[in-house]
Amino acid sequence: DTEVTQTPKHLVMGMTNKKSLKCEQHMGHRAMYWYKQKAKKPPELMFVYSYEKLSINESVPSRFSPECPNSSLLNLHLHALQPEDSALYLCASSQESLAKNIQYFGAGTRLSVL
């Protein structure tokens, strides 16, 4: 099973809402990632978790709060987002967070902030 599952597929939220994006993998991978992708742009790294610990935060605003409850799950908690945060949010995982590893991506959550 080389699948990374993201839920929900689509999400519409207001600027005062609190919502969460979920990501799950059962490949035994110990590194998990959140990316943000705007239309016609490449994915931009947001966070990296390695062995359930946050190892990279790419200066992401605090209205995005990642959480890794266990080695298979990764959440992204959203609060007080802005319309410019509307984007495709991609989760990925890899065996370890090392240069040689291939990343496996989920299909993404399409987020619209009204």
Q: Where on the chain is the footprint of other proteins (CB under 8 A)?
A: 4, 6, 40-45, 48, 50, 55-56, 88, 90, 92, 97-100, 102-108, 110
Q: Which is nearer to other proteins, 70 or 100 (CB)?
A: 100
Q: Which is nearer to other proteins, 78 or 97 (CB)?
A: 97
Measured from the CB of residue 14, what is the shortest distance to other proteins in angstroms?
23
Tell how strand 109-113 and strand 10-13 pair up.
Answer: parallel
In terms of Cα–Cα distance, which of 73, 67, 61, 74 is closest to 113? Answer: 61
Distance between CA atoms of residues 5 and 16, nearest Å = 27
* Number of helices and strands in the chain (H, E): 0, 11
Q: Which is nearer to other proteins, 3 or 18 (CB)?
A: 3
Q: Which is nearer to other proteins, 4 or 74 (CB)?
A: 4
Measured from the CB of residue 114, what is the shortest distance to other proteins in angstroms?
19
Measured from the CB of residue 51, what is the shortest distance to other proteins in angstroms?
13
**59 contacts: CB under 8 Å, gap ≥ 6:** none
In terms of Cα–Cα distance, which of 85, 78, 88, 93 is closest to 108? Answer: 88
Measured from the CB of residue 106, what is the shortest distance to other proteins in angstroms?
5
